[in-house]
Amino acid sequence: MSVAAAVERGHAVADEDPSVLDRIMAEGVELAVWRRSRPTALAWVDALAWNMIDDLDFPIALSAIDHELAEGLAEAGYPAGGGTVALREDIAAHARRFAAIIGCDSVRLRLEVVETDACRRFHADLVPARLLTTLVGPGTQWIEAGLPEQIHQLAAGDVAIFKGLRWVEEPVILHRSPPVTATGDTRLLLAIDPFDPHQDDAHG
């Protein structure tokens, strides 16, 4: 469904230019979406044996992201080679862009295989902001509070930043993982949060 109505009310912005993500900092904007196709260099991930891949979930300093992410992907079972290098570079680019927008030098990064109806309720996360992009499978769904019948869905490859409960006390934009149990779909989801060692991590 089109995001036009939400855009008109100013709660969401979407564009094919990555600079649209900067607009998450604006008052009243709770979702910024960079409309992009998944890079062709990542097409190989569709054929991964998911039972051989572990999830990644760890804090990482931007200054060490290339090295630590390379080690993390190898330990999680991603194959050595140019394909995984392209995946690492794509993830690192998202982390750097997100950190520059939000103003942090460390992030918590999750790259997880989703095969169940996780986070089935529409919600906001207990973080200041979260970047989400789906690399395989159906993308994240979102609604405007008060309009639950109008479900919008991101496409694989889209990059979105949602404001969370540590930024907006009563959010207008809520999101959820799309139901996949009945369809048998598998998702590969990347989530990036600002990392603050003094606050409890919350997946929301």
Report the mean per-residue pLDDT for the chain.
92
For 64, other C-beta atoms within 10 Å of its C-beta total 11
pLDDT of 165 > 90? The answer is yes
Q: How far apart are CA 109 and CA 32, in angstroms?
A: 19
115-158, pLDDT tens digit by residue?
988 778 999 999 999 999 999 999 999 999 988 889 999 999 99
The whole-angstrom separation of Cα 32 and Cα 20 is 6
3-state SS, residue 151: coil
Q: Determine contact, residues 121/176, Cβ cutoff 8 Å.
A: yes
Q: Tell me the per-residue pLDDT of 4-29, one tens digit each, with 9 for 90 and over.
A: 555 556 799 999 999 999 999 999 99
Is the overall model pTM greater than 0.85, yes or no?
yes
- Identify the pLDDT of residue 4: 53
What domains, with CATH codes, occur in the chain? Answer: 37-194 (2.60.120.10)
Sheet with 129-136, side-by-side order of all strands: 12-15, 31-34, 159-163, 129-136, 187-194, 106-114, 56-61
